[in-house]
Amino acid sequence: MTEKQLAIIGGGPGGMAAALSAWEAGVRDIVILEREERLGGILKQCIHDGFGLERFGEMISGPEYARRYAALLEKTGVRVETNAMVTSLLPDKTITAVTRRGVMEFHPGAVVLATGCRERTRGAITIPGTRPAGVYTAGVVQNLMNCRNIRVGERIVILGGGDIGLIMARRLTYEGAKVLAVLELQPEPGGLQRNISQCLYDFGIPLYLSRTVAEIRGRDRVRSVVAAQVDEHGKILPDTRFEIECDTLILSVGLIPENELAGQAGIRLDGRTNGIVADEYLQTSAAGIFACGNAKAVMDLADHVSKEGALAGRNAAHFLLGQAMERRGSGYESRMAKGLPKEGSVTCILCPNGCQIEQKDGKWSGNRCPRGEKFAQQEQKEPMRTLTMVLRTVWGGLLPVRTDRPIPKAAIFPLIEYCKKQCVSSSCMAGDVLIENAMGTGVDLIACDDFAPNKAVSECDETGDRVGKQMVIERAR
């Protein structure tokens, strides 16, 4: 056993924060095991903005958020093993990971589980009907569109008014697909008010509450879905069925903590949510194994996942160094407003609070900060939005980009068309301006991720196979 070693399983917002804080707390032998090619986890495909307000004090996109943490990690001596899929975790903390370099085994003194969550599938919610092509979970669509330049369909119905579904409704609309309906089983949507406002209302996408998909039709490809109203127990009401012709059904019906490894190690799981049960120090039922983020309980904000990851990392460090551990405390729940925006009010989208701002007798109320009032005024004059997109690169991959500040709503679609014609042909780093004064709008298009084609090319052998590269980051001197 490498007694002073900390192994972190998962390199998303929780795992990266855990590594960073454990390093800061004095642990010098830390390894992050990440199954994908790069750190960042699901943030890499979340190209929309809305991240980082709590952690970095500004609103940035998912890839930028991941990049910032990765950059902080590069200044430490944390060892990062990418393309490393952990296939087993034993109660004695033995970890086995399969990589392109071989099978690795670790015997750390402490472990942080930052394994995230997975999406609930069609099978799990037993939607009746046929099984044609064209039924996807929202995260899969997000990955295909934002990371692989693959589009899934043209006429879309989304089941589930959760945030991923809402974000994808907007993203699909940007790319020219027609989102015909968002169906939500509950009488109130589960997503943030600001997402209802900026992802659905902005584009006139209809939201149907207390509705579900009663049947999927189509032999080879989805031909239509039958929507229906449900009662308060979620039971379908007869005679409320209506057919929507579409070619794609996207499911955004919940996230399940990803806990096969924890289960394998005999760690106690919550029977209802499948989340890891952890104490106030984020320690699981196994001493020295800590858990954070969505693997423990699905959270709304990546910032909170990082915050919890940081604590898990610190406490793992304290555990290794024989120091007292810190309690979790509060500050993980934001005042985020969920559900339907109030009628007649302006939903502020500047932060997740989603203040409902109303004007009465020339006075604004409902905003919790002065920025809200400015936003509401601007919203009346000319609504402004930040555009997040991807650009093609000459090497085939995609680079996420965004405008450096909001642009008039009317300029969004022309700018999207403009973006589609652009192609990145040089190296750049997150934050670099790619296009100055895009289309004369006065805003710059900035890169949301580092892009190094030469590196990407050098990692490919002749057959195009990516050769796994061990990335040991030297401690900055």
Binding site for other proteins (CB under 8 A): 35, 83, 85, 87, 96, 98-103, 105, 118-119, 121-124, 126, 128-134, 137, 139-140, 143-145, 147-154, 175-176, 214-215, 217, 219-221, 236, 260, 274, 390-392, 394, 398, 420-421, 423, 463-465, 467-468
Q: In this structure, what token pair is assigned to residue 192?
A: 């943030």
Q: Which is nearer to other proteins, 409 or 420 (CB)?
A: 420
**Which of residues 71 and 124 has its CB atom nearest to other proteins in the complex?**
124
Question: Which of these, 282, 277, 281, lies nearest to 259 by C-alpha position?
Answer: 277
Burial of 104 from C-beta contacts in 10 A (0-12 / 13-18 / 19+): middle
Q: Closest CB to other proteins among 217 and 342?
A: 217
* Closer Cβ to other proteins, 261 or 350, answer by number: 261
Closest among 386, 350, 384 to 368, alpha carbons compared: 350
Residues with Cβ within 8 Å of 161's Cβ and at least 6 positions away in sequence, in order, are: 182, 183, 184, 186, 189, 190, 191, 196, 207, 209, 252
- Closest CB to other proteins among residues 4, 223: 223
Q: Closest separation between CB of residue 214 and other proteins, Å?
A: 7
Task: State the nearest-atom distance from the C-beta of 279 to other proteins, in Å.
Answer: 25
Smallest CA-to-CA distance from 12 within 55, 36, 37, 41 is with: 41
8 Å CB contact between 257 and 296: yes
The distance of closest approach from Cβ of residue 357 to other proteins in the complex, given in angstroms and rounded to an integer, is 35
Closest contact distance (angstroms) between CB of 57 and other proteins is: 33
| 147/298 with CB nearer other proteins | 147
Min dist. Cβ of residue 463 to other proteins (A): 8
- Shortest gap between Cβ of 375 and other proteins (angstroms)? 31
Pick the closer one to other proteins by CB: 121 or 365: 121
Q: How far is the CB of 468 from other proteins (least distance, A)?
A: 7
Closest approach of Cβ 353 to other proteins, in Å? 31
- Choice between 397 and 408, CB closer to other proteins: 397
* Residue with Cβ nearer other proteins (140 or 209): 140
Residue number with CB closer to other proteins (72 or 416) = 416
Cβ 420 to other proteins, closest distance in Å?
A: 6
Residue with Cβ nearer other proteins (24 or 215): 215
Please give the Cα distance from 138 to 144 (Å, whole number): 10
Find the shortest distance in angstroms from Cβ 311 to other proteins: 27
Specify whether the CB–CB gap between 290 and 278 falls below 8 A. Answer: yes
Cα–Cα distance measured from residue 49 to residue 460, given in angstroms and rounded to the nearest whole number: 31
Considering beta carbons, is residue 4 or 217 the nearer one to other proteins? 217
Based on its alpha-carbon atoms, the radius of gyration of the chain, rounded to whole angstroms, reads: 23
Q: How far is the CB of 122 from other proteins (least distance, A)?
A: 7
CB of 34 to other proteins, least distance (A): 13
